[in-house]
Structure 1
């Protein structure tokens, strides 16, 4: 560990615990801001010196991108499982599974079943954060069953002592206490009038767009706030006044996983994205289709696919579907946007942030990604939201 003197005591202990363990599977449990990426960089370097090939897996493309910052070649857990059973080649491998609390029982079961003799696994996550959308909480259950667990319990990211204490309270789930703490520090500001509140949010955002996150509880206020920010940015000449209308998709939030099995919950004109695809139905992963007919009595949907070909099916047969409605939204050069679906062709993850550099005559958006990459996206090939995604 001499080459990692920059590590904190918590980080050093966790890295040593991982690298000296003889267990085939173990966990690295860490609080938000605990220096996970720095610790995993040290783990990767130590494992590679011991002859291991380190591979990263994560349940979402955004999490996979964050894991890659530790220098670990990473893909989504879903893509890894979709490859099917692979032949063993004798190579020692260390799989680092990030955001493990979001992996379902079925995914972890399939993943563990396919491990080879020389494979080892480091599950990374926080049992208090998001759990899997699908059934099960295997990450927490493995720990409860006695899986060896190293812990990153010291918050490194937050330097302000008062805010650091607030972060610790949040990590312990003490929401009421942390609000009171922040309020006593005069960090909570309440504005009763709706329009005055929206205007103040817009002014605060314009002061530092790249360092500000706005959160809203519903779509209606999200649209109002986006519009206010857009206009304020234009008045401050941080966004061009030359606008162009662009087609965008927004998720129908009220349609849950159970709802998607019943045709009556769909509407003609809905846009569907099939993240998993279906071999029996001939649907490719990531394909889009538009609902052209709803058979409520027969529980069937008829959708129009790319090229105009129609397909009828029982929605209970197709998993991993997201339901959208489309609308037009005004964009201008300088607007901040966020991707709401991965764009695998250019290795862009869902939830990445970007700034519009140029809107071309054919509707092409030239984006400057916050990650440093640049991407051109056809108006129908990437779903984006104007200014901020709330």
Structure 2
């Protein structure tokens, strides 16, 4: 392994290191540090300190906008906006399943508040930041915003929208909370605990919900249009993967092929005959083999064909602020 430890350590040596350091064993193969425990305790304390802490003038200003809620919103989306508009808490959360229209609801929120409230979008990824920008919300990656030495002062009340919060580590959440307390601004954390979790320390989005942050849950799927795809997504959202696969099999939308060569052949034929479907592989070896076979099976050598091949990209921490 390229990045493996050069020398092995005995368990006794590891335990000795743990005893003389700030590392704490929580469970089998699960470790943390005293620093992280303290940070996460402080985050929960800040959530509780934020209950009913916002100035009444701010809430009255926001509440006046409530009558502008769009009739095209789903019931869940309306509940989401009503919470954001009416709450007196400094911190709130939106737990939204994939495809429930969180970004669409935010576009309506921005139209309601943009003249009176400064809304700032924050996200762990540049892609999500771009999505917020598309609906008119001035946005930054969380890394770049937190690295700013000073944050622009505003004559208007400020509202932070943190998208994809499940990807954000506890330290960053704590930093943003410190900023919001200093500015007397509000924060809405939006995400889905069932999607990817943070690669940094902490599962704080789930923990905040567990320990009392006011949360609205979005479950009404909007992205999927057919009854079949909706039922599949709903099963996944209930953590019932077996049921989701059974629905796909029943409707002949899921095919298992045990033999490796037959599986590769089927993927290649599907690509050529079915309008270039998306092919996902678990290894580079499979990717290269499928690509080569597709090229070999193309009938017309004079006809141009394009293969979109996507690979993961590692970004150093020092360059995060650029994305």
Would the TM-score normalized by the shorter structure come out above 0.5? yes
Aligned match for 1:94, one of 159, 182, 185: 159
Query: Secondary structure of the residue that 1:18 maps to in structure 2?
Result: helix
List per-residue Cα deviations over 1:252-295 (Å, max 9, x = no partner): 9xxxxxxxxxxxxxxxxxxxx66223xxxxxxx37xxxxxxxxx
Aligned match for 1:208, one of 252, 271, 275: 275
Residue 275 in structure 1 maps to residue 316 in structure 2: yes
Cα gap change, 1:89/1:3 in structure 2, threshold over 3 Å: closer, same or farther? Answer: closer
Is the CA contact (8 Å cut-off) linking 2:123 and 2:164 kept in structure 1?
Answer: yes
Asked which structure has the greater RCO (Cα within 8 Å, sep 6+), the reply is 2
Aligned match for 1:181, one of 247, 251, 254: 247
Partner in structure 2 of residue 355 of structure 1:
none
C-alpha displacement of 1:231: 4.5
Residue 120 in structure 1 maps to residue 161 in structure 2: no
Partner in structure 2 of residue 384 of structure 1:
none
Cα gap change, 1:249/1:16 in structure 2, threshold over 3 Å: closer, same or farther? Answer: closer
- Within 1, Cα distance between the matches of 2:298 and 2:97? 36
C-alpha displacement of 1:38: 0.9
Is the CA contact (8 Å cut-off) linking 1:25 and 1:147 kept in structure 2?
Answer: yes
Cα gap change, 1:233/1:63 in structure 2, threshold over 3 Å: closer, same or farther? Answer: farther
Unaligned runs of 5+ in 1: 253-272, 278-284, 287-341, 350-390
- Within 1, Cα distance between the matches of 2:251 and 2:295? 31
Q: Which one has the bigger strand percentage?
A: 1
Partner in structure 1 of residue 225 of structure 2:
159
Cα gap change, 1:202/1:25 in structure 2, threshold over 3 Å: closer, same or farther? Answer: same
RMSD between superposed Cα atoms in Å = 2.9
C-alpha displacement of 1:144: 1.6
Partner in structure 2 of residue 41 of structure 1:
107
C-alpha displacement of 1:205: 2.9
In the TM superposition, what are the counterparts of 1:76-91 in structure 2 within 5 Å? 76-86=141-151, 88-91=153-156
- Within 2, Cα distance between the matches of 1:181 and 1:65? 34
Partner in structure 2 of residue 54 of structure 1:
119
Cα gap change, 1:2/1:47 in structure 2, threshold over 3 Å: closer, same or farther? Answer: closer
List per-residue Cα deviations over 1:146-202 (Å, max 9, x = no partner): 111122111111121122111111111111221122112221123344334223323
- Within 2, Cα distance between the matches of 1:239 and 1:97? 43
Unaligned runs of 5+ in 2: 1-66
Aligned match for 1:12, one of 64, 70, 78: 78
In the TM superposition, what are the counterparts of 1:1-390 in structure 2 within 5 Å? 1-2=67-68, 4-49=70-115, 51-86=116-151, 88-115=153-180, 116-206=182-272, 207-209=274-276, 212-232=277-297, 235=300, 239-240=304-305, 275-277=316-318, 285=319
